Amino acid sequence: MTGVWNLGEAMKDPNHKTKRMAHGLMMLGADAGFVATGLMASLALMALTGLLMTASDTATFLVSRLYWTKLCLVALLLGNGTGLLAAERAARRGGEAGWSWLALVSGVSFVLWLVVLFFGVWLTAAA
């Protein structure tokens, strides 16, 4: 939902349209395939498109506290993502603990994802 809305907004903006479209599409892909492996693959692609957008306007982004806060949050999301992969493996092996762990890291991942999403939109508005 948020992805579709964001994509609509992105298309209206002529400023590095392709990269923003890719960034937005990736977010949708990650939303759709909300399993750890898909999430991590989408994150890697988002990092790539995000870095390309950063490169296109370093003067704005590299001095922005908002930008660095977002990157710290992305780092947390990535760290949590590796926990998610491990939890998924543990749950597959069976056992109650694996599933509780998976539920916890999935919840954290969901909240972090929404917060990063919010920061992304905020960054666009502030840039």
* Region from 3-11, 32-40, 85-93, 94-102 binding ligand HEM, contact rule CB under 6 A: 3-11
Minimum distance from residue 126 beta carbon to ligand HEM (Å): 8
Annotate 73-117 with DSSP letters as a single string: HHHHHHHHHHHHHHHHHHHHH--HHHHHHHHHHHHHHHHHHHHHH
x/- map, 63-102, ligand HEM, by CB under 6 A? --------x--x----------------------------
Q: Rounded to an integer, what is the distance from CA 18 to the centroid of its chain?
A: 18
Tokens of 68: 């660095």
Least CB distance from residue 65 to ligand HEM, whole Å? 13
Beta-carbon count within 10 A of 80 CB: 21
Total residues at the site for ligand HEM (CB under 6 A)? 26
Q: Are 124 and 88 in contact (CB under 8 A)?
A: no
The interface mask with ligand HEM, positions 13-52, x = CB under 6 A, is: --x----x--xx--x---------------x--xx--xx-
121 binds ligand HEM (CB under 6 A): yes
CB 118 within 8 A of CB 58: no
| Token output for 106 | 């999935």
Q: Contact residues for ligand HEM (CB under 6 A)?
A: 6, 9-10, 15, 20, 23-24, 27, 43, 46-47, 50-51, 53-54, 61, 71, 74, 113, 116-117, 120-121, 123-124, 127
